Structure 1
């Protein structure tokens, strides 16, 4: 038996309970988790913003050690330290053939197939985003287990699986930030902090962090922000003032709200680029006039998993971790146990802190 946090149904309270994990089947691996991050996407799964069959074990940002492998698995062996990949690409669909693995048509297939059962009554359980990291152990497809790069601490390596890949990719792949460009980052949570560090590594400047909480200024500046703005009605105007009157070259929105997306777009210069990382609900509608679209010539783009290819990006990111340029531990504002997840959800809703990290 394995201890896990179960979501019984959408919008139902989380339950810490025992589950039964099967041995890994063909093409699967079993992993003993060392750590898992509590991400806003988990909250979106729990409240129905993102679809997820239930009952389910959520959690998708994790790292651990392989304990067993199923038939046909050769890419990892027991004892290997790995990072979970919640969106493994198939390599053969339309998007994969276009070299866009982050849009793989089959990346979410594992989430719709039961992977374990409740110990109490044998009810089938689904793995949140195919990974189910809110548990002491999990079973995932071998393609969802990426080797942890050398020199990266195992527990902190969990953050590579979502926050860091997303923030890094938003800067380097989606927005393609160049040295000397100004960047505004909206939302100083786990992904926002990773985005700020990525912008600093890219040589951006000034780097403006925006958040509703003034208490996050020190956190933002430690991650690379040179300026901090408490969100308000004049946010776009203040960012233009901080960027020579023109507006930021790039804005990265890490919140997923219509008003924040609109403000991020308005804060960029003519010809500026806005990348939306935050996940919003269908009710969040953003509007623009036809004239302003023409006049400002700005670009607005979505960003899935940082538009990253984890197999290629993780070694690059790890190099910055080893050099000290990227500080994974700086993203973590609280280390908790499984029983701390509900409070971590409440903190995200209230806009407090950066990343909560479950340490097993």
Structure 2
């Protein structure tokens, strides 16, 4: 089959190969024929080493497809089922799963770094984050797939698999924004737009979008932002809207020290700062001991939007069905796997792309 291979971490291009095969299907695993996958900034982060990934490997972690084979012990899925994939497959038996935090389950995440999912020629290779959706087929644990109705378009389902779940989940699961709140969102890419949509769903009265790219401001307003500004204009908006007191919730969707610090500085005393962006392991953010004590702010991380995928995927799709969550509008471009490198190059630029979707025949 065809797949896009990362040969070395640090490469800026993926190699399209047609001699790729999957691992055999184990007793608790399934084979998926990928129908659509999003091109996410985390894929770039895997390629450049910001996020951990093994090479050679197959990149891609935001996908949907059709089950074509199931292992002998799988009872929840059958061939022909349509599914959304998750890169955090719960084991349902560890301490994190039992305490109601399946998104923090590490069992299958660790296995992703020890169990190759593919072969390229004669070389065993790994799937990024346990998946590898830049391939026509893949083999995953059955718990990495959530069944959806057959009438949900695969490209819509693929969006739910990462970007939308991460952004909306950060609002409704992690921060639990309440109606009437003021919400600051720094970074207006695909995940940032999803945070904005989540804030709108939660009933936020003010949603302030911050991005240095002016083209993204109108996009942010179209999805629910009440105000939009560049980083240089944020201080003036804080003064105008909050009397320099700051906002109830501040979401950093970039993941670099400067933007995390800005989120902190622009949250009110007693407010909540949520770090959604995936930063580098060596990127350090500095706070004084006194300000942590004195300002009484809550600083939290939000990994994968605190997702319970069996619950939340269906919840997001129901919001889409009722017109309250705009997923069609988040698809900026449809491309083929042969065009994947062009799609990644566009994502590296400063433009207003939200999500490019790779569709498979």
TM-score clears 0.5:
yes
Residue deviations 1:98-139 (CA, integer Å, cap 9, x gap): 2111111214134221112113xx111111111110011111
SS in 2 for 1:324: coil
CA drift at 1:146:
0.7
Give the corresponding residue for 2:319. 320
What SS does the corresponding residue of 1:108 show, helix, strand or coil?
helix
- Alpha-carbon distance between aligned partners in 2 of 1:185 and 1:177, rounded to the nearest angstrom: 13
Which whole-Å deviations, capped at 9, do the CAs of 1:121-174 have from their partners, x for residues lacking one? x11111111111001111111111111256532221101111111111100111
Residue 290 of structure 1 is matched in structure 2 by 289
Structure 1 residue 114 and structure 2 residue 116: aligned?
Answer: yes
Residue in 1 aligned with 2:342?
343
Q: Which runs of 5+ in 2 are unaligned?
A: none
Please state whether the residue corresponding to 1:35 is helix, strand or coil: strand
Residues of 2 paired with 1:169 and 1:236: CA distance? 27
Q: Distance in 2 between matches of 1:217 and 1:312?
A: 32
CA–CA distance in 1 between the matches of 2:328 and 2:111? 30
- Superposed, 1:239-254 pairs within 5 Å as 239-254=238-253
Q: Distance in 2 between matches of 1:264 and 1:74?
A: 45
* 1:279-302 residue CA offsets vs partner (Å, 9 max, x unmatched): 111232111122222222111111
Structure 1 equivalent of residue 106 of structure 2: 105
The CA distance in 2 between the partners of 1:299 and 1:346, in whole Å, is 36
Aligned partners of 2:82 and 2:150 also within 8 Å: no
Residue in structure 2 matched with residue 96 of structure 1 by the alignment: 97
The CA distance in 1 between the partners of 2:6 and 2:89, in whole Å, is: 23
- Aligned-pair distance for 1:242? 2.7
CA distance in 2, matches of 1:115, 1:194: 30
SS at match of 1:162: helix
Q: What CA RMSD, in Å, does the superposition of the two structures yield over aligned residues?
A: 1.6
* Contact 1:6–1:55 (Cα < 8 Å) also in 2: yes
1:224 aligns with 2:224: yes
Shift of 1:246: 2.3
Q: State the Cα distance separating 1:89 from its structure 2 match.
A: 1.2
Structure-1 separation of matches of 2:72 and 2:310: 23
| Alignment of structure 1 residues 122-137 onto 2, 5 Å | 122-137=122-137
Residue 25 of structure 1: CA displacement?
Answer: 2.3
Residue 238 of structure 1: CA displacement?
2.7
Cα offsets for 1:16-63 (capped at 9, x unmatched): 111122442221111111110111211111111222221100111000
Counterpart residue number, 2:32: 31
Any idea what SS the aligned residue of 2:112 has? helix
Q: How does 1:302-313 map to 2 (within 5 A)?
A: 302-313=301-312
1:24–1:69 Cα contact (<8 Å) kept: yes
Could you tell me which residue of structure 1 aligns to residue 355 of structure 2?
355
What residue is the counterpart of 2:8 in the other structure?
Answer: 9
Change (3 A) 1:291 1:46: same
In 2: Cα distance, 1:44 partner to 1:81 partner: 28
Equivalent pair of 1:150/1:318 in contact (CA under 8 Å)? no
Counterparts of 1:180 and 1:319, CA distance in 2: 23
Q: Structure 2-normalised TM-score?
A: 0.94
Which whole-Å deviations, capped at 9, do the CAs of 1:197-234 have from their partners, x for residues lacking one? 111111112101111100111211111111001123x5
Q: CA deviation at 1:351?
A: 3.3
Q: Counterpart in 2 of 1:172?
A: 172
In the alignment, is the contact (CA less than 8 A) between 1:4 and 1:57 conserved in 2? yes
- Comparing 238-247 and 306-315, the one that deviates more: 238-247
Q: Which runs of 5+ in 1 are unaligned?
A: none
Contact 2:43 2:60 in 1 (8 A): yes
Distance (Å, rounded) in 1 between the aligned partners of 2:123 and 2:45:
23
Secondary structure of residue in 1 paired with 2:357? strand
Contact 2:271 2:298 (8 Å CA) reproduced: yes
Contact persistence 1:208–1:239 (CA under 8 A): no
